[in-house]
Chains A and B, each alone.
Chain A
Amino acid sequence: MTTLEYKGYVTEGVAKGKFDYYVYTELCKGCGLCIAKCPINAKGENCLHWSKEVGLYQTPAVEPDPSLCIGCGTCALVCPDSAIRIEKKAL
């Protein structure tokens, strides 16, 4: 078994530096379900939004606003392709 490599990008220090926000560009298909489900976006803010990076089908991937994201994990839960991972930072 070889270990697999995953391409993607990290937004460091979301939710006042508590979490790192990983997006895997080889898994994200750009469906946008996470953007519609984000509880901060539901309040009228622009927390989770389209990124300049592209995903699997050359459609925009997503990225969070580090100052607005609270690291609730709704986007990671709802993603059909597990393209989002929110990892707690080791203190």
Chain B
Amino acid sequence: MTTKILELPPNLPKSQNEEAGASKFCPGCGHGMVLKTLAFAIDELELKEKSVFGCDIGCSLLSWNYMDIDTVQTHHGRTTAVIYGVTRANPEAIGIAYMGDGGGLAIGAQHLVNAAVRGEKMLIVLVNNTNYGMTGGQMSPTTLPGQRTETTPYGRDCSVTGKPAKGAEMIAAIADSDKSYVARASVSNLRKLRSTFKKALKNVNEGGFSFVEVLSICPLNWRTNNVDTWARLQTMEEFFEVKEFVSREGL
């Protein structure tokens, strides 16, 4: 078996930037899977020309050249605010705010809550990998009880730091059920994730507010090998319930 120039290109979605080459993410990062699935969902609904993609600070900013759609990179936690500014100025646009758990549930929580209360026309994708990956794996709001990170070397102590934040439940409690779609999905089932993104994008296309929290993986900072990574994701799915919380009728 020898390496040669192949005639057939890889099976990339049309909304993905082919010229960027391999993504900037670490080996085994869940962001690649989430973005690939999101791009396939955009392709399927033919929303590429209308979409605006905003990425946050943190690992999620490495998606700045991943998509072949209009992209803006914003301040930490302000992706929600920038993207609903874009969709208010241009009501035709489909705004996609892409952030990690730090950008959504720590520094950007205020924008997330208020966007959900007002029901802005946008899709928020919150990728939850239970730590701050880019800075070296510190504790984040969603770190599981007892999980070892750089800043919790003896495991997260819930009596000091509180319990992990559950973003989808919080948004489901305040979102308007007549025009919202709130769900939690996981990268362990990418077909399900794709149908979740399709429903969310369809809801945004009809003028609603969508929030999708995706349970993701971080093999480098979890210090897990390929088998343990999937096992760890399984324990995350037991803690964070994977389901649709709010679904507008007719989706």
Binding site for B on A (CB under 8 A): 4-11, 22, 24-27, 29-33, 35-37, 51-53, 56-57, 59, 63, 76-83, 85, 87
Contacts and interface: CB of A to CB of B under 8 A. Distances in A.
B3 A29 contact: no
Contacts of A35: 226
Given A6-B10, A33-B217, 16 more contacts: A7-B5, A9-B4, A9-B6, A22-B8, A29-B22, A29-B26, A33-B229, A36-B226, A53-B3, A63-B1, A80-B28, A80-B30, A80-B31, A82-B11, A83-B10, A85-B10
A79 B32 CA distance: 8
Contacts of A32: 28, 225-226
A87 B23 CA distance: 23
B32 A81 contact: yes
Given A8-B3, A80-B36, A27 B225 contact: no
A15 B33 CA distance: 26
Given A7-B5, A85-B11, A80 B21 contact: no
Contacts, number: 92
A77 B32 CA distance: 11
B219 to A, nearest CB: 7
20 contacts: A4-B19, A5-B5, A6-B5, A6-B10, A7-B4, A9-B2, A9-B6, A26-B22, A29-B22, A29-B26, A33-B226, A33-B230, A57-B27, A59-B27, A76-B11, A80-B28, A80-B32, A80-B33, A81-B22, A82-B10
Looking at chain A's contact residues, is the secondary structure mostly helix, strand, loop, or mixed?
mixed
A36 B227 contact: yes
B18 A4 contact: yes
A9 B27 contact: no
Contacts of A33: 28, 217, 226, 229-230
Contacts of B250: none
A30 B1 contact: no
Looking at B3, B217, B227, the one whose CB has the most chain A CB atoms below 10 A away is B3
Interface of B: 1-6, 8-12, 16, 18-19, 21-23, 25-33, 36, 190-191, 217, 219, 225-227, 229-230
Contacts of A4: 9, 18-19
Given A24-B6, A81-B32, A31 B1 contact: no
A74 to B, nearest CB: 9
B222 to A, nearest CB: 13
A80 B2 CA distance: 24
Given A31-B219, A33-B230, A6 B6 contact: yes
Given A33-B226, A78-B190, A87 B28 contact: no
A16 to B, nearest CB: 19
B69 to A, nearest CB: 17
Contacts of B5: 5-7
Across the A-B interface, give the 4 residue pairs with the lowest CB-CB distance, nearest first: A80-B32, A31-B28, A32-B226, A29-B27
Given A26-B22, A31-B219, A35-B226, A82 B2 contact: no
A33 B190 CA distance: 13
Nearest to A85: B11
